[in-house]
Structure 1
Amino acid sequence: MALEYHSVEVDWWDDIVTGLPKPLVKDGFITVPDKPGLGIDDIVDEVISQHLQPGVTGIWQPTDHWDDEYSWDRTWS
């Protein structure tokens, strides 16, 4: 299995979830959790809120505008 890890230089990256060992990636490896699902205990909304892109007003906003958005989902190519 391969894991792409693009946040190696983001110092707060390990703080966005709880229940996993820190650092999340050590010596190029991640410890596979034995908990169900993603293996985390919780997502830390406060940390995510501190690092939103400019113009984003909050986390977990409704995305109803995508309900009618046209998409070209070609499953055959």
Structure 2
Amino acid sequence: MQHIKTLRRSLGAVAATGLMVAQQAQAAIPTEAQAALDAAKEDGPAIAAIVLGIIIAIAAFKYIRRAL
């Protein structure tokens, strides 16, 4: 009985995956949207560097306060 339930779930998962793959469409992205994505890719590392710098500054401040 347990094997039938497992088989049923597996077949359901395979069918759902097949439907998801079949529904994917390769649509053209508008040029404005592509430009916005490219700008976001360029801004992402800069923002990450700023956040990392802030985290390091907070950790250094805590370390200095603990030492005093």
Q: What is the TM-score normalised by the length of structure 2?
A: 0.26
For the pair shown, the structure with the greater C-alpha radius of gyration is 2
More helix by percentage: 2
Q: Which has the higher contact order (CA 8 A, sep 6+)?
A: 1
More strand by percentage: 1
Q: What is the TM-score normalised by the length of structure 1?
A: 0.24
